[in-house]
Amino acid sequence: MPYRAPVSEFEFIYANIVGLDQVQQTSRFAEADPDTVTAVLTEAGRLCEDVLAPVNRNGDLTPSVLENGALRSAPGYAQAFAAIAEGGWVGVGADPEHGGMGLPLSVATAVGEMMASGCLALQLNPLLTQGNIEALEVHASDDIKALYLPKLNSGEWSGTMNLTEPQAGSDVGALRTKAERNPDGTYAITGQKIFITWGDCDFTENVCHLVLARLPDGGKGTKGISLFMVPRNLPDENGEAGVANALKVVSLEHKLGIHGSPTAVMQYDGATGWLIGQEHDGMKCMFTMMNNARLGVGMQGVGVAEAAYQQALEYAQERKQGRTPVADGSGAIFEHADVRRMLATMKSEIFAARAIGLECALALDMAQATGAENWRARGAFLTPIAKAFGTDVGIRTADTGVQVHGGMGFIEETGAAQYLRDVRITSIYEGTNGIQAMDLVARKMMDGGEMAQTLIDEVEQFAETARASRPRMAEAVWQASETLREATEWMVSQTDLNDRFAGCVPYLAGFARILGAHYHLKAAGAEGGEGPRTRLARFYIRRLLPEHEGLLAHAKAGQGDIYALSAEDLGV
- Name residue 265's beta-bridge partners: 251
Question: Closest Cα to residue 505, out of 346, 347, 391?
Answer: 391
Are 317 and 334 within 8 A, CB to CB? yes
The C-alpha atoms of residue 511 and residue 516 are separated, in whole angstroms, by: 9
One-letter identity of residue 219: G
Question: Which helix (DSSP H) or strand (DSSP E) does residue 157 occupy?
Answer: strand 157-162
Q: Does 430 participate in catalysis according to the annotation?
A: yes
The C-alpha atoms of residue 338 and residue 335 are separated, in whole angstroms, by: 9
Question: Closest Cα to residue 452, out of 384, 508, 514, 381?
Answer: 381
Task: Supply the DSSP symbol for 563.
Answer: H
Any residues with CB less than 8 A from the CB of 504 and at least 6 apart, and which? 434, 437, 438, 440, 441, 555
- Name residue 76's beta-bridge partners: none
Any residues with CB less than 8 A from the CB of 184 and at least 6 apart, and which? none
Question: Which helix (DSSP H) or strand (DSSP E) does residue 302 occupy?
Answer: helix 282-318
The C-alpha atoms of residue 135 and residue 510 are separated, in whole angstroms, by: 33
Q: Which of 430, 482, 530, 549 is catalytic?
A: 430
Any residues with CB less than 8 A from the CB of 532 and at least 6 apart, and which? none
Residues that are catalytic? 430
